[in-house]
Amino acid sequence: MAKQEKVGINVKKNDNLSEWYQQLVLKAELAEYSPVKGFMVIRPRGYYIWERIQDDLNKRISKKGVDNAYFPLLIPESFFKKEAKHAKGFKPEVAWVANREEERLAIRPTSETIMYDSYSRWIRSWRDLPLRINQWCNVIRWETKATRLFLRTREFLWQEGHCVYETKKGCDKETMGYLEDYEKLCKELLCLPVIKGKKSESEKFAGAYYTLTIESIMPDGKSLQCGTSHNLGQGFAESFGINFLDRNEKKALPWQNSWGISTRLIGALSMVHGDDKGLVLPPKIVKNKVVVVPIIFDKEKEKVLVEAKKIVKSLKKCNAILDDREGYSAGWKFNEWELKGIPIRIEIGPKDLVNKEVILVRRDNGKKEGIKIKDLSKKIDEELNNMQKDLYENAKKLMDEKIVSVGEFKELEKAINDKKVGKTGFCGDVKCESKFDPLNAKVLCIDFKENKCKCVVCGKETNNLAYIGKSY
Amino acid sequence: MAKQEKVGINVKKNDNLSEWYQQLVLKAELAEYSPVKGFMVIRPRGYYIWERIQDDLNKRISKKGVDNAYFPLLIPESFFKKEAKHAKGFKPEVAWVANREEERLAIRPTSETIMYDSYSRWIRSWRDLPLRINQWCNVIRWETKATRLFLRTREFLWQEGHCVYETKKGCDKETMGYLEDYEKLCKELLCLPVIKGKKSESEKFAGAYYTLTIESIMPDGKSLQCGTSHNLGQGFAESFGINFLDRNEKKALPWQNSWGISTRLIGALSMVHGDDKGLVLPPKIVKNKVVVVPIIFDKEKEKVLVEAKKIVKSLKKCNAILDDREGYSAGWKFNEWELKGIPIRIEIGPKDLVNKEVILVRRDNGKKEGIKIKDLSKKIDEELNNMQKDLYENAKKLMDEKIVSVGEFKELEKAINDKKVGKTGFCGDVKCESKFDPLNAKVLCIDFKENKCKCVVCGKETNNLAYIGKSY
């Protein structure tokens, strides 16, 4: 008889979110710490989610004419230096390769510089534009803050799209378009509601003209940046000598953007949807959507097992698995599959056989229902669809509750102390922005819609309605 | 009017394979050199092929129960040292990260050591076996020989599968199974015929019990290793402390294998199928399978263009593209698309309109045929299928011609001088093996079938029928 260690997370989500999250990721086998400080191993259950994110985004961007490619891991130091603000922004985080070539080689923290070197050779004429390229790869940024699996690690996986346009207008439009793709991916695939907006000047990407962002609000009221899309302006083009003959045969500088999402999303969705029992996952990103647990007593064992196997076979399309392990109680098995976030559990015992039915249990809301076996396949499709919808709706409600409109600075202070995000006017001035530091808060983003309001710090009239809060 | 630079490769494949190959890869835009010596940029046309290889292999191995995962890029030096032969084999090629942590960190040249560290924690009981994990990633090996795009670069993309089994028998069987997957992928997707066999003791992977390989014979008679599958024995398990409680509750050492293919395959298929006009690609790995080139004269321009657009729309499923660029002659366009390996060209001019037909031209054999427009879609499906078959058959014939059975050493010498591969007896002795060095040849692999024959060097009886030749 196998040991039946207690499975599950031994701290409540509401009591200690940080410890709960760490146990969740480790015990649900999404990832583990690597022996090298700051690095992580993405285990199959976590990587499967990443592959679904890749498939989903690839479909969206390929429709927009984006091609995937791959650029070198190592970047010459001189490339970084070409765009001054960019170089400064990444300098502390770069890992270098030990004395292999005369020039120092960086392990990419991002690929603008190495890609734009190629672009300067590939682009000659307006006919070559827009150029839209994306790569899926690993990047290294030598974080000094404490590691948090998926949320802050020295290596992570991401995609970085890098496009070049004839005009500012074309660039603006598509910079927004990719952000909207991210928003849709978060909603439709990951059931993750986000707020979107523009970063303030001090929060924008190193070297960018402006940065757009989607942010997800975690249960502790802290915001997690989930994806960004930068209009890079013409600065990189100038530094890297990217220019083209325009429609009037004149030499011109193009406009560029870059946009990225990363494995961080796996952390975001786990933290938002999970509960005290473990992972709760949107059905679309789970390989085995159903687990069948036969409730076995010695007498009727064979009959129950035969029926359970038949059911598993009939549910091939949702990759149903059978848990017929001996030496584990049914309750222990329930706990394990709840921990791992299998969306639907089917229980079948001798009594159910007589009634030709099974018990169906939904992971997200625990709803139990007796279902006739003949209706099972249809019912499961329905419940998986409902679960995908419900997860988003519930998360959206929770997020909305965490955002409060405030007018006075004191109100903002209270909101942040209450683990909420304040929505309020912000004039854009760096001096005013610095007043959020003592609250450990910052401007998460500025709403795209213009709203006449007053700056929460200086009281000046402004059109910027900003989200202000703590962040990961 | 745009410039019409001459497109195409300016050297013949038969005259100078090496120069032809380099021009092919660069001009067909599969890849380009990176500013960092030894590195390459995989351009969209090349990366698209890699994505098809990934899709194909993922399907094959997922059926076998393999899960994808991701392990860290950086590996502590102490991990390498744990398996002595492995450490020795990779030592000269490892790139290290400059002083970030106390212990030296290697950029992975392969991931056995970092993965097996995790495995030692994940595996407890025979119930955890077999464990089958694969990762798609980049690796770095600091090659000192001259760079050849796709064939020899310091960074390449690959997959590495790493499985753990209870018994030698299970390990043997699947080690062969993955090699067979590679063989099928090469044949069915890439139209690439291979020979397969076992590596000699001196050619096996550093730390392996034995190595199986598939090899493709290039037009110059040199062999290109296209994929390997290693039975690693129990050595790594011992070094990394991977053990399990077996079915009798006794502690036992498992058996392991690892297996990989890389972006090198893109080089292999390009070199085998390409011709003096440029790339020839199996239709299955080309995004735009058809290009429609309208033959335009001023008078009938509109009519022809309208029909051409209609045709392109009707061929959506093969991602047909329209080349209606102005300022380029039809002939120039033909050359360009031939260079880039588009499988089928459709020409349509005013005369064709009258007859309600078009000209269909196949890239691989140049066959031209008039086709009624109403039959076009069906005909294209047929021709794409035929092309996929023909490319393999032709490559197989060429490969077979390059392999000659030889009995005496002199015959082997002649075969190799004639740019062929010798198939002959080899006793397995290192002393005999060293006699191939002066020919710049080596044992490519030993046939799986036992064949009574005599060693081409010492004349001793042996069961080993070996392929001996030059290699990349």
Contact with chain A for residue B369, Cβ under 8 A: no
A1 pLDDT band, cuts 50/70/90, is: very low
Query: What integer pLDDT is reported at residue B1 of this predicted model?
Result: 38
Cβ burial of A254 (10 Å; 0-12, 13-18, 19+) is: buried
What CATH class does B17-273 carry?
Answer: alpha beta
Mutate to test the interface with A, among B70, B107, B328 (most CBs of A within 10 A): B70
Interface of B with A in 39-58 (CB under 8 A): 39-44, 46-48, 50-51
- State which residue of chain B sits closest to A38, comparing Cα positions: B72
DSSP code, position B108:
P
pLDDT at residue B5 greater than cutoff 70: no
CB contact under 8 A, B51 and A68: yes
Cβ distance B37 to A101 less than 8 Å, yes or no, reads yes
Give pLDDT, residue B34: 95
Please count the other Cβ atoms lying within 10 Å of the Cβ belonging to residue A12. Answer: 12
Of chain B, the percentage scoring pLDDT greater than 90 comes to: 90
| DSSP SS3 for A76 | strand
- What is chain B's mean pLDDT, rounded? 95
Given CB atoms, is A327 within the 8 Å cutoff of chain B?
A: no
Residues pairing with B194 in the sheet: none
Chain A: residue whose CA lies nearest to B63: A319
Partners of A44 on chain B (C-beta within 8 Å) are 67-69, 133
pLDDT attached to residue B299? 77
User: Domain A290-383 falls in which CATH fold?
Assistant: Rossmann fold (3.40.50)
Question: Looking at residues B354-372, what average pLDDT do you find?
Answer: 96
In this prediction, residues B28-54 reach a mean pLDDT of 97
Q: Using the predicted structure, report yes or no on whether residue B278 has a pLDDT greater than 60.
A: yes
pLDDT score, position B2:
44
Q: How far is CA A47 from CA A54, A124, A459, B37, B135, in A?
A: 10, 39, 48, 32, 10
Q: What is the CATH code for B288-383? A: 3.40.50.800
* Segment among B339-343, B347-351, B400-404, B468-472 with least mean pLDDT: B347-351
Q: What backbone phi and psi angles, to 5 degrees, belong to B76?
A: -65, 145
Whether A32 contacts chain B with CB within 8 A:
yes
pLDDT of residue B91: 85
Rounded CA gap, A12 and A2, in Å? 28
Best mutation target, A1, A27, A34, A55, to test chain B (most B CBs within 10 A): A34
Q: What is the mean pLDDT of residues A255-262?
A: 98
Nearest neighbour of B118 by CB, restricted to A32, A37, A325 = A32
C-alpha–C-alpha distance, residues A324 and A296, integer Å: 9
Closest by Cβ to B69, choosing from A43, A117, A127: A43
Burial B435-459 (b: 16+ CB within 10 A, else e): ebeebebbbbbbbeeeeebbbbbee
Question: Chain A residue closest to B77 (CA)?
Answer: A36
Q: Is residue B255 within 8 Å of B168, Cβ to Cβ?
A: yes
Q: What was the pLDDT predicted at B4?
A: 54
The shortest C-alpha distance from B141 to chain A (Å) reads: 12
8 A C-beta contact, residue A226 and residue A182: yes
Distance in angstroms between the alpha carbons of the first and the last residue of chain A: 44
Nearest CA in chain A to B157: A70
CB A95 to CB B99 under 8 A?
no
Select from 3.30.930.10, 3.30.70.270, 1.20.1290.10, 1.10.287.3510 the CATH code of A31-273: 3.30.930.10
Residue length, chain A? 472
Contact A99 B98 (CB under 8 A): yes
Question: Residue A434: is its pLDDT beyond 70?
Answer: yes
Residues from chain A that touch B79, judged by Cβ atoms under 8 A, are 35
Task: Give me the mean pLDDT over the A205-224 stretch.
Answer: 96
Residues 122-141 of B with CB under 8 A from A: 125, 127, 133, 137-138, 140
Is residue A232 over pLDDT 70? yes
Half-sphere exposure of A209 (CA within 13 A, CB side): 15
Q: Which amino acid makes up residue A259? A: W
**Strand order across the B357-362 sheet:** B321-322, B290-294, B344-348, B357-362, B368-372
Q: Do the Cβ atoms of B469 and B416 come closer than 8 Å?
A: yes
Q: Across all residues in chain A, what is the average pLDDT?
A: 95
Residue B112's H or E segment, with its range, is helix B112-122
Task: Answer yes or no: CATH 3.30.110.30 is held by domain B403-469.
Answer: yes
The angle, 0 to 180 degrees and rounded to 10, between the axes of the packed helices B264-273 and B17-27 is 110
Q: How confident is the model at residue A2 (pLDDT cuts 50, 70, 90)?
A: very low
Q: DSSP letters along A185-218, please?
A: IIIIIT----EEEE--GGGS-TT-SEEEEEEEE-
Would the pTM of this model clear 0.90, i.e. be above it?
yes
**Section A368-372 average pLDDT:** 97
Q: Do A72 and B39 touch (CB under 8 A)?
A: yes
CA dihedral for B36, B280, A65, A67, sign (positive or negative): negative
pLDDT at B399 over 90: yes
| Torsion angles phi and psi, residue A2, rounded to 5 | -70, 155
Percent of chain A with pLDDT over 70: 99
Q: Where are the domains of chain B?
A: 17-273, 288-383, 403-469
pLDDT band at A83 (very low <50, low <70, confident <90, very high): confident
The residues in A 236-265 lying below 8 A from B, measured between CB atoms, are none
Q: What is the mean pLDDT of residues B38-47?
A: 98
Report pLDDT for B85: 87
User: Exposed, middle or buried, B1 (CB in 10 Å: 0-12/13-18/19+)?
Assistant: exposed
Answer for the pair A157, A266: CB distance below 8 angstroms, yes or no. Answer: no
Q: State the nearest Cα–Cα gap between B466 and chain A, in angstroms.
A: 38
Average pLDDT over residues B357-361: 97
A304-353 pLDDT, tens digit per residue, is: 999 999 999 999 999 999 999 988 999 999 999 999 999 999 999 988 88
At A5 the pLDDT is 62
Residue with tokens 């464990």: B131
Give the nearest chain A residue to B103 (CA atoms): A36
ipTM: 0.96
pLDDT of res. B61? 98
Note the residue count of chain B: 472
Given a cut of 70, whether residue A146 has pLDDT beyond it is: yes
For B404-456, the pLDDT digits (tens) are: 999 999 999 999 999 999 999 999 999 999 999 999 999 999 999 998 999 99
d(CA A96, CA A108): 9
pLDDT by residue (tens digit) across A268-311?
999 999 999 999 999 999 999 999 999 987 778 889 999 999 99
Residue A140 near residue A122, CB atoms below 8 Å: no
Residues 6+ away with beta carbon under 8 Å from A232: A112, A205, A207, A208, A209, A255, A256, A257, A258
Write the pLDDT tens digit of every residue in B58-117.
Answer: 999 999 999 999 999 999 999 988 988 888 888 889 999 987 777 899 999 999 999 999
Give residue B146's pLDDT. Answer: 93
Confidence check: pLDDT of A3 > 60: no
The more confidently predicted of residues B160 and A100 is B160
Instruction: Judge: A72–B155 Cβ closer than 8 Å, yes or no.
Output: yes
Q: How far is A66 from chain B (nearest CA, A)?
A: 9
A221-245 average pLDDT score: 97
List the beta bridge partners of residue B213.
B197, B228
User: Strands B67-68 and B131-140: what pairing?
Assistant: parallel
Q: Do B17 and B9 meet the contact criterion of CB atoms below 8 Å apart?
A: no
- What mean pLDDT is predicted for residues B278-295? 97
How much is the average pLDDT of B339-358? 94
